[in-house]
């Protein structure tokens, strides 16, 4: 096998684990790229597996770094939550023979392209989790127009709008009250942030449609994608989000399911901790 070893060298534990794991991985194949600074252009390299050390943020960065030549990702959790990063470093060592033998499942997931205006002209960014258009100033509402496939849908007043993929439905959107979507669902989720009304609810629609968010308020708005600031949007500006022509690929190790991760990492469906009554008498 050919491996990418990726991560974030600003976290000391990532550097240490990458150095520890590299000889083990080289015993099972070839390391095609070793980049803990997200500096290397991976688009011209070939690999069978990208091992990403860190948390979910490291996986988002790796997906952007691979661009339109996505390689199946196996996440090694060295962060806090690790919703996408299933394994510990020791678990990786234990299951790598299974992975090398092809005894795993690779799932495909929706990625997005976000086109937005800049002073130099239109720019496009590829992402995995979400696009957020939000108020540039804390405590001040912004006013946005949402259109789907060119049809006006709603005018929104509040802190902002999140447009997320199913992978992103357990990130910022979840914190804003959005539902959890099955990760392989071909759909986008639109979640309002603190709407100034009692009637707005999250909306799920097809992945094949084009979503446009326009800015109406005089002080503009701010645009972020996968947690990365892309700049200010002036009044009258619009961003367009559509399905990308490439999919994110995630390696699923036997014995770990999506619903198990929901229960273990997010405590989904965990019953109340009822007090045990003392015995009578």
Surface-to-core class of residue 140, CB atoms within 10 Å of its CB (0-12 exposed, 13-18 middle, 19+ buried): exposed
Active site residue 56: yes
> Do 116 and 209 sit in the same domain of this protein?
yes
Beta bridge partners, 123, equal 116
Q: How confident is the model at residue 281 (pLDDT cuts 50, 70, 90)?
A: low
CA distance 224 to 60: 13
> Do 208 and 258 sit in the same domain of this protein?
no
pLDDT of residue 275: 67
Q: Is residue 234 part of a domain?
A: yes
> Do 18 and 76 sit in the same domain of this protein?
yes
Range of the domain at 130: 112-243
Task: Given the residues 9, 35, 48, 56, select the one marked as catalytic.
Answer: 56
The pLDDT mean for the chain works out to 90
Surface-to-core class of residue 219, CB atoms within 10 Å of its CB (0-12 exposed, 13-18 middle, 19+ buried): middle
CATH number reported for the structural domain that contains residue 258 in this entry: 3.40.50.10330
The predicted-structure confidence for 67-113, as pLDDT tens digits, reads as follows 999 999 999 988 676 778 878 888 888 888 888 777 788 999 999 99
> Do 194 and 208 sit in the same domain of this protein?
yes
CATH number reported for the structural domain that contains residue 129 in this entry: 2.60.200.30
Confirm whether pTM is higher than 0.75.
Answer: yes
> Do 105 and 190 sit in the same domain of this protein?
no
């Amino acid at each position: 096998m050919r491996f990418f070893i990726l991560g974030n060298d600003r976290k000391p534990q990532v550097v240490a684990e990458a150095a520890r794991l590299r000889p083990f991985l080289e015993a099972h194949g070839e390391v095609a790229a070793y980049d803990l600074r997200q500096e290397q252009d991976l688009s011209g390299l070939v690999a069978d597996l990208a091992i990403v050390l860190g948390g979910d943020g490291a996986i988002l960065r790796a997906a952007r770094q691979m661009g339109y030549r996505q390689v199946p990702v196996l996440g090694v959790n060295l962060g806090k939550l690790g919703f996408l990063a299933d394994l510990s470093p020791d678990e990786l060592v234990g299951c790598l023979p299974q992975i090398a033998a092809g005894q795993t499942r690779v799932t495909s997931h929706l990625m997005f392209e976000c086109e937005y205006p800049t002073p130099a002209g239109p720019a496009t960014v590829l992402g995995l989790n979400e696009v957020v258009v939000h108020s540039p100033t804390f405590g001040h509402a912004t006013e946005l127009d949402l259109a789907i496939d060119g049809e006006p849908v709603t005018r929104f007043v509040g802190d902002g709008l999140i447009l997320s993929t199913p992978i992103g439905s357990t990130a910022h959107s979840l914190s804003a009250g959005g539902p959890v979507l099955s990760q392989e669902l071909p759909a986008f989720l639109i979640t309002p942030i603190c709407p100034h009304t009692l009637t707005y609810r999250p909306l799920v629609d097809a992945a094949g449609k084009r979503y446009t968010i326009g800015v109406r308020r005089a002080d503009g708005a701010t645009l972020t994608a996968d947690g990365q600031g892309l700049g200010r949007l002036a009044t009258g500006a619009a961003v367009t989000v559509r399905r990308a022509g490439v999919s994110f690929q995630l390696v699923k190790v036997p014995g770990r399911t999506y619903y198990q991760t929901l229960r273990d990492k997010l405590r989904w469906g965990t019953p109340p901790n009822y007090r045990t009554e003392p015995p009578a008498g």
